[in-house]
């Protein structure tokens, strides 16, 4: 048990969406090793079960599509039935896109909003009554450096969706904390992560695992685990990220 350095999650119940692969799959065993009970949510049961096997008997698998509000409501009910309370809800589902902004279709925009924004909106709205009853709880929304600045033209609709998610997170925090200051909404902004994100993007794309200046899913998971205990409002997963964002906006010709 460490008091300094990496803190301990302990007896929290943590719901993780998109838990069958990538960042979610790295986060779940880490939290379980620190004493948390984890609810693993995703569409692919076999993948969820494989992650659960690494979680020291502290995992509950719930197969669900979090772009469907009814499924999200079922996840909340199932977690409460099993554990009696939820402490942290991690909105980790997301998908990229490889398409220039001039070529975007209605379906492209609808898909990016459904996966990257509505899935998080449903999670926040459906778990919020439980958090309000206890005046405690934490929502963690997984954003992206592309939600801070539009670095990659082919990720145009994804970047726009993450900008929307960032604003939505901030507005949830401002609204809820007026009456329930014990509830936190934390935004996590990684850069390139070595997962299947790139090749799983709508219309395909470069493999994120081959790109330079990347992080492992384990590194990002460690940042999230620390944020669960420290409960900050906003977290970048790499040093220097704030400077990179500031540098971008300093060079795009912003009029004072």
Residue 102 burial (C-beta neighbours within 10 Å; 0-12, 13-18, 19+): exposed
In the chain, alpha helices (H): 22-33, 45-52, 69-83, 106-113, 119-134, 156-176, 217-230, 241-250
Which residues lie across from 186 on neighbouring strands? 140
Q: Which two tokens stand for residue 71?
A: 């499924």
pLDDT given at position 9: 63
pLDDT of 170-195, one tens digit each?
Answer: 999 999 999 999 999 999 999 999 99
Q: Which of 37, 111, 43, 94 is nearest to 71 (CA)?
A: 43
Which carries the bigger pLDDT value, residue 4 or residue 189?
A: 189
Which conformational region is residue 240 in: left (phi greater than 0), alpha (psi within -120 to 50 degrees), or beta?
left
pLDDT of 19-29, one tens digit each?
Answer: 999 999 999 99
- The span from the first CA to the last CA of the chain, in angstroms, equals 50
pTM assigned to the model: 0.93
Calculate the average pLDDT of the chain. 93
Rounded CA-CA distance 228/250 in Å is 32
What domains does the chain contain, in order, with CATH numbers?
Answer: 13-249 (3.40.50.720)
122, 158, 236, 249: the active-site residue: 158
- Mean pLDDT score, 129-138: 98
Among this protein's residues, is 158 annotated catalytic?
yes
Q: Does residue 8 have a pLDDT over 80?
A: no
- pLDDT band of 249, cuts 50, 70, 90: confident
Q: Does residue 135 have a pLDDT over 60?
A: yes
Q: What percent of the chain has pLDDT over 70?
A: 95
Which carries the bigger pLDDT value, residue 86 or residue 8?
A: 86
């Amino acid at each position: 048990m460490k008091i300094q350095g990496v803190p301990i999650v302990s007896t929290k119940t943590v719901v993780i969406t998109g838990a069958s692969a990538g960042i979610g799959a790295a986060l779940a065993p880490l939290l379980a090793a620190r004493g948390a009970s984890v609810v693993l949510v995703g569409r692919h049961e076999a993948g969820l079960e494989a992650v659960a096997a690494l979680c020291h008997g502290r995992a509950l698998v719930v197969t669900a599509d979090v772009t469907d509000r009814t499924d999200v409501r079922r996840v909340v009910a199932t977690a409460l039935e099993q554990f009696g309370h939820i402490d942290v809800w991690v909105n980790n589902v997301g998908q990229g896109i490889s398409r220039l902004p001039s070529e975007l279709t209605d379906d492209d925009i609808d898909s990016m909003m459904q996966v990257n924004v509505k899935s998080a909106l449903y999670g926040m709205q459906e778990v919020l009554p439980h958090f309000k009853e206890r005046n405690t709880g934490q929502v963690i929304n997984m954003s992206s450096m592309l939600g801070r600045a539009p670095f990659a033209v082919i990720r145009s609709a994804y970047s726009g969706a993450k900008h929307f998610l960032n604003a939505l997170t901030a507005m949830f925090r401002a609204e809820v904390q007026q009456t329930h200051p014990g509830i936190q909404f934390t935004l996590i902004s990684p850069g390139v992560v070595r997962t299947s994100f790139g090749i799983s993007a709508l219309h395909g794309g470069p493999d994120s695992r081959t790109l330079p200046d990347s992080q492992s899913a384990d590194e990002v998971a460690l940042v999230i685990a620390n944020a669960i205990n420290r409960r900050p409002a906003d977290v970048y997963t790499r040093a220097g990220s704030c400077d990179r964002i500031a540098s971008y906006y300093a060079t795009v010709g912003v009029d004072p």
